[in-house]
Structure 1
């Protein structure tokens, strides 16, 4: 479905274009054999139903082609994870940003997730607040990625029927997200304390199976992620929100089973479609340089060895000289985590340990010191992937990123740029310690490229190979890369006056080179 009018889609709750939004809405969309509203209310199905589409679209799980254009050809590339073997020319890889690709991320967020969130809100707010709280956590999970991608977004005006749906600045949106998490945590904690049985068990598609306590842990962990995002622009609020997350009575993720993973009704990881059906995605040169340099045991789970150089892992350089698609297709594809596993990770425990490690490095009360939390993050990643070898890996103070060599197109070769070892060094500077933390977080978060892209913009780590063919016309610099996605055509066509409020809240022109609110060009310490 291609959306040309986000305002209309919000009012119509994101209905498929097969039926559209018309004056005959009730008649056209009535099924004489369907349950009546009274029948649906017996098991809250009229509230539970919209969650299905929400679960499918938070990470753009379905269909696979939409994931490719919304995530794999944007955040996955800009975050240093994946590269298509081909796609030369003017497109996202060369920083000539493609609206035809990027608008699908906006579409999934607003006409799929948020349209269905509004259904849940209308049916449950103030009446069945357990459902409203759960939907609100999913809302924050969804809209923080929207704000991180575009900057100003539609948040407080969601669901309004104004002629122009106004935007909130990214700073305003983050403030609203923290408040939304306050509500959700308080509401679900109250129900856990009362011993209330979950009403969400049969609709929860994650490994949590409707457990309210685990959802609180997830919300706290999400708060910690958001808090760290704003550390440069509002360090006092960042510290306050981070410590609130860790100190809440249920705390943040600590064991692997705390990771938020969607497993039910996942037929395959969406990246498998672009990698194995389309042959349009392969391991990046940055992954080869960093993980290959470490001889990281997790590579065998993440990737396959290449057919080009049998027995070796070979990545493709983003924005490089690729030529015909078939030239780099024999490079490393994705391993069992994509090829075989039927799960999509929204947030994992290892990331939370790395966030706490960074917080501790900054002097915050994170319930441990930076070194201990850093090592716990690596261990959690190894445990999640069941690879073994974590102890030797953590202790290695020699190996580091290796130079990249393209065996079929030498012009893509590049010297290693992220030269830092794994082993913790208490004598190192805070900058080096942060580089270690973010590098390991980057490895552990694969394949969540949107998060990798956000961390790279915020900290500059891990250092990534620069692209070789910048075709942005000066809008995006090779040095700093893509900082945000320009506003999409569906908003320009369907909500032009509202969009003007968003453009006015940018820190510059509506291009990929303009930095968002939390993305400030300033030292990490």
Structure 2
């Protein structure tokens, strides 16, 4: 992709484009929602975030990203789709709706959704082209693009979230997206978009707590006072259309047998993970997974193509997503689309509880950190049961599980560890957020660091911290890439091992396996 240093918005217009009167903004927004989560999911997410979050393991020996090699054809597809398609949809909606009062809520939803997608971009790549000095947002254009710092991007996006949330109205005159609102279903749930905006703000605020505690505290408090998610009924998800190609979990895990569950995640499910032994089976396990012939056992994450683990490998040996049981979280039924459970996770109430637990631990908000922590576990189990269609879950099942966990004691670092481990579990299968949590907190600290191959963009013994910029950025826009990642820099050869701005490792720093996390309290 290439671009320009100013006039981003205008340069993305064409003389052959449809006029405002010819385009329905709802058709653009529904496309942005659907494609924003589903487009090329395997190459865009499964071969990167899904593995780096330690939720899924690759089963194809020739796929190298699990052991930290870079594949430009895979990585660039997300970058390209965002800047050439999602950004154009966003800007076109603004053009069409900005002067019409009945579109106030649609504009707010457009902004909130756009920020959710922007967050995925900057959290993967760090500094990226965002907007120029005149406030025009970046899109794919024909001239070199200026990059913005991740800090500036974060602060601007949290401000945008506040503005969007504050503009939402319950006036009956507002245009109703109805079923084309793939997240919440239209105006009857417009208040949930406001809660989602402030919940995403809270997510962002806590993510920067180690590097910018002042802004983190201010925005965390603003988010909570503005009104975040209050129950699992506020969960934000987009249901998969299993009649189409984008039924990504089934394609990857069933039709193609390209991926399976991660070995260590399944150890957490069994309560047997070294360093976090509970000897209690997680009540979510049977809803999330079905056992393989070896039982509830996952495949090792990040092994190299020459590993003996691939010798005699049988996909059916390993635990898999529960897609064939009507009580399964991933239940998939092509013949009865309405009865399928597959969905794309955006944000759940359980995550908000864990974020509030950390905010309370840091003194950003009132309330008791342990109570928020336990509420998060309870909310997660109940949410998984709701999606799975399980109606016989007992409160005692959740209470017994919570009672089996390590006691919520010790210093703030020890308590943060407990919060983050359960948050990481609850985020499953939202790997974009799971990987971000690992990088910014260091927890769970007892995961196995993959053995990096000699061709990897990470030195063996270091954790991957980011995705490399696409090759065409180096070909067309190298001068605007941050100097420590330009092709002439000493970091270039191993550029995926250096932290983004908010990484626990530190901006542009490495994070070695075996490092003891030390968060900023």
**TM class by smaller structure:** 0.7 to 0.9
Aligned position for 2:116: 141
Check whether the contact 1:476–1:482 (CA below 8 A) recurs between aligned residues.
yes
2:105 is the alignment partner of 1:113? no
Query: In the superposition, relative to structure 1, how do residues 182 and 126 fare at CA in structure 2: closer, same or farther (>3 Å)?
Result: farther
Give the secondary-structure state (helix, strand or coil) at the position aligned to 1:83.
strand
2:295 is the alignment partner of 1:296? no
1:8-27 matched pairs, under 5 angstroms? 26=16
1:145-224 matched pairs, under 5 angstroms? 145-157=120-132, 158-159=138-139, 163-188=143-168, 191-192=169-170, 194=171, 196-210=173-187, 211-224=189-202
Aligned position for 2:51: 77
CA shift, 1:265, in A, is 4.5
1:86-132 deviation line (CA, Å, top 9, x unaligned): 3257x211112222221122123222322211211222234444322
Query: In the superposition, relative to structure 1, how do residues 179 and 502 fare at CA in structure 2: closer, same or farther (>3 Å)?
Result: farther
Aligned position for 1:306: 292
Query: Structure 1 CA distance, aligned partners of 2:298 and 2:160?
Result: 41
Check whether the contact 2:237–2:344 (CA below 8 A) recurs between aligned residues.
yes
Aligned position for 2:375: 376
2:251 is the alignment partner of 1:273? yes
Give the secondary-structure state (helix, strand or coil) at the position aligned to 1:108.
helix
CA shift, 1:213, in A, is 1.4
Query: Structure 2 CA distance, aligned partners of 1:185 and 1:116?
Result: 20
CA shift, 1:509, in A, is 2.8
Aligned position for 1:232: 210
Give the secondary-structure state (helix, strand or coil) at the position aligned to 1:167.
coil
Check whether the contact 2:57–2:261 (CA below 8 A) recurs between aligned residues.
yes
CA shift, 1:514, in A, is 1.1
Check whether the contact 1:13–1:115 (CA below 8 A) recurs between aligned residues.
no
Aligned position for 1:257: 233
Check whether the contact 1:95–1:470 (CA below 8 A) recurs between aligned residues.
yes
Aligned position for 2:42: 68
Give the secondary-structure state (helix, strand or coil) at the position aligned to 1:244.
helix
1:25-104 matched pairs, under 5 angstroms? 26=16, 38=21, 40=22, 46-59=24-37, 61-62=38-39, 66-87=40-61, 91-104=64-77
Query: Structure 2 CA distance, aligned partners of 1:254 and 1:51?
Result: 26
The answer for unaligned runs of 5 or more in structure 1 is 15-20, 31-35, 400-421
Aligned position for 2:330: 338
1:467-518 deviation line (CA, Å, top 9, x unaligned): 45311557424544110011012333454454467947x9983410111111
Check whether the contact 1:94–1:467 (CA below 8 A) recurs between aligned residues.
no
CA shift, 1:81, in A, is 0.1
Aligned position for 2:511: none
Check whether the contact 1:208–1:260 (CA below 8 A) recurs between aligned residues.
no
Please give the TM-score of this superposition, normalised by the length of structure 1.
0.80
Check whether the contact 1:13–1:118 (CA below 8 A) recurs between aligned residues.
no
Check whether the contact 1:269–1:338 (CA below 8 A) recurs between aligned residues.
no
Query: Structure 2 CA distance, aligned partners of 1:239 and 1:350?
Result: 20
Aligned position for 1:405: none
Query: Structure 1 CA distance, aligned partners of 2:105 and 2:454?
Result: 47
Higher relative contact order (Cα pairs below 8 Å, separated by 6+ residues): 1
Query: In the superposition, relative to structure 1, how do residues 325 and 301 fare at CA in structure 2: closer, same or farther (>3 Å)?
Result: farther
Tell me the C-alpha RMSD between the 2 structures.
3.1
1:284-341 deviation line (CA, Å, top 9, x unaligned): 011111111241121111111002x2xx211011122332584345311111323421
Query: Structure 1 CA distance, aligned partners of 2:456 and 2:61?
Result: 20
Query: In the superposition, relative to structure 1, how do residues 92 and 474 fare at CA in structure 2: closer, same or farther (>3 Å)?
Result: closer
Query: Structure 2 CA distance, aligned partners of 1:244 and 1:109?
Result: 29
1:339-391 deviation line (CA, Å, top 9, x unaligned): 4213222111100001001111112215x211111111111111112252554
Query: Structure 1 CA distance, aligned partners of 2:354 and 2:249?
Result: 25
Aligned position for 2:96: 123
CA shift, 1:53, in A, is 2.1
Query: In the superposition, relative to structure 1, how do residues 348 and 396 fare at CA in structure 2: closer, same or farther (>3 Å)?
Result: closer
Query: In the superposition, relative to structure 1, how do residues 121 and 287 fare at CA in structure 2: closer, same or farther (>3 Å)?
Result: same
